[in-house]
Structure 1
């Protein structure tokens, strides 16, 4: 599919249902092969409940929606990580699997980077599971490995790479 008809807008609380729908389409196919069934379900319930998404928005996480012909096909979110050093964190980037491979992931990331550059942000960090193939996408678009991080989440662990990109 071409990039024509692609628009972006920041999400509001009214968009929580569509964010959950896209997350649901991508989350389990991404994480069950890596983590089994229980941990992805636990994390999805924790992070993507309507209440959790509303709380993330209320606490300063900006959600960006990518639309093709007015249909939301992906979302990304970011928030401030370190005000003093102008470092932000890309918290989420999920694209409906039906649209993967068409350059749409790169385009929504460019939209996030444009918004952050306008805010004077110099650096964008993200966490990605060490076994998630998305790591290679992030490397392709300019993120570099910073460190490994193991984060407890309930009875489980997230085994991540922290990656960083300097915004120009």
Structure 2
């Protein structure tokens, strides 16, 4: 049984634990070990997750397969009618069970609940990430691409993708 709940600041360690499983597995063939370590600290140290939730407006959701946490997402309002799907990940052992689509649909549902007018949901995806095909299947289109500096001499080499949302 697949369920989802909104995360709170009490979930920072859980999100960190999930990320420590899925993030390296997702990017091990794309990023250097040094960049992986840097990005894990930058995005997923519990204190940085706490800051994202309390100061930066990220809203996290955690998906459960029965009672086991199996994935997560976060959404952040960018502008009046633009929302950014910051993170969407499924633990490798749970991939292929429809959880990614479930999380993606939850992001859309959440955005439509807080913003009933037409808007844009964007996300960045590494140009070499196999998830690109998943996002295209979900109806997202490439809007552009860029090499975004993230500090320490590292870049995110991403496509920017978007999906128009209507109620």
> What is the TM-score when the length of structure 1 is the normalising length?
0.93
Structure 1 residue 115 displacement after superposition:
1.0
Secondary structure at the counterpart of residue 96 of structure 2: coil
* Superposed CA offset, 1:80-133 (max 9, x none): 1111xx110000001111110111100111011111111226210000011111
Report the TM-score, using the length of structure 2 for normalisation.
0.93
Q: How does 1:104-115 map to 2 (within 5 A)?
A: 104-115=99-110
CA–CA distance in 1 between the matches of 2:165 and 2:130? 23
Say whether residues 1:140 and 2:137 are aligned partners: yes
* Cα shift at 1:69: 1.6
Partners of 1:50 and 1:19 in 2: CA distance: 8
- For the residues of structure 2 that align with 1:89 and 1:23, how far apart are their CA atoms? 19
Q: Which runs of 5+ in 2 are unaligned?
A: none
Moved segments of 4+, more than 6 Å: none
Output the CA distance in 2 between the equivalents of 1:115 and 1:153.
28
* 1:75 maps to which of 65, 72, 77: 72
Q: CA deviation at 1:30?
A: 1.4
Deviations 1:42-80 (A, max 9, x none): 111111001100000012100011112222111000011
Partner of 1:17: 13
Number of aligned residues: 162
Mapping for residues 1-168 of structure 1, pairs under 5 Å: 5-58=1-54, 59-83=56-80, 86-119=81-114, 120=116, 122-154=119-151, 155-168=153-166
Once residues 46 and 115 of structure 1 are traced to their aligned partners in structure 2, the CA distance between those partners, rounded to angstroms, is 26
| Root mean square deviation of aligned Cα | 1.0
Query: Which structure 1 residue ranges, 5 or more long, are not aligned?
Result: none
